[in-house]
Amino acid sequence: MEIVLYILIALILLVIVSNIKVVPQAHAYVIERLGAYLTTWSVGLHIKVPLIDRVANKVSLKEKVLDFAPQPVITKDNVTMQIDTVVYYQITDPKLYTYGVERPLLAIETLTATTLRNIIGELELDQTLTSRDIINGKMRAILDEATDPWGIKINRVEVKNIIPPADIQAAMEKQMRAERERREAILKAEGEKTAAILVAEGKKASAILEAEAEKQAAILRAEAKKEAAIREAEGEAQAILNIQSATAQGLKMLKDVGVTREVIAVRSLEAFEKAADGKATKIIIPSEIQNMAALVTSIKELAKNEQA
22-51 pLDDT per residue, tens: 999 999 999 999 989 999 999 999 988 888
Q: Domain boundary at 115, 147, 164, which?
A: 164
Question: What single DSSP character describes residue 41?
Answer: E
We report the CATH number of the domain holding residue 94 as 3.30.479.30
My answer on whether 106 and 51 are in the same domain is no
Contact status, residue 116 vs residue 82, Cβ threshold 8 Å = no
Question: Which of 167, 157, 193 has its CA nearest to residue 84?
Answer: 157
List, for residues 98-122, the tens digit of each pLDDT value.
Answer: 998 888 889 999 999 999 999 988 8
Domain that holds residue 240: 169-257
Q: What's the pLDDT tens digit per position in 260-277?
A: 555 555 555 555 555 555
**SS3 state of residue 52:** coil
- Both 157 and 77 in one domain: the answer is yes
Query: Which residues face 159 on adjacent strands?
Result: 85
Residue 35 phi/psi, 5° resolution? 90, -5
* Residue 281 and residue 303 in one domain: yes
Q: 284: alpha, beta or left, given left = phi > 0 and alpha = psi -120 to 50?
A: beta
Let me know whether 181 and 226 are in one domain.
yes
Q: What crossing angle do the helices spanning 132-147 and 104-120 adopt, rounded to 10°?
A: 140
The answer to whether residues 238 and 283 belong to one domain is: no
pLDDT > 90 in the chain, percent: 25
Predicted pLDDT at 232: 84
User: What is the rounded CA–CA span in Å between residue 20 and residue 47?
Assistant: 4
Is beta strand 80-91 parallel, antiparallel or unpaired with respect to 152-163?
antiparallel
Long-range contacts, stretch 273-281, CB < 8 angstroms, 24+ apart = none
> Where among 140, 164, 188 does a domain terminate?
164
Same domain, 39 and 100: no
Asked if residues 90 and 152 have their Cβ atoms less than 8 Å apart, the reply is: yes
Question: Measured on CA atoms in the order 190, 193, 199, 205, is the torsion positive or negative?
Answer: negative
pLDDT > 90? residue 94: yes
Asked if residue 85 and residue 140 are part of one domain, the reply reads yes
Q: In the chain, how long is the greatest CA-to-CA distance?
A: 216
Calpha distance 102→87 (Å, rounded): 19
Per-residue confidence (pLDDT) for residue 272, from 0 to 100: 52
Same domain, 130 and 182: no
- Are residues 210 and 160 part of one domain? no
Question: Do 187 and 267 belong to one domain?
Answer: no
pLDDT in tens, 7-26: 888 888 888 888 888 999 99
Residue ending a domain, among 164, 188, 217, is 164
Question: Are 68 and 159 in the same domain?
Answer: yes
Count of structural domains within the chain: 4
Task: Specify whether 195 is located in the same domain as 269.
Answer: no
Return the pLDDT at 140: 92
* Residues forming beta bridges with residue 21, ordered by sequence position: 46
Those residues whose C-beta lies under 8 Å from the C-beta of residue 18, and which sit 6 or more positions away, are 50
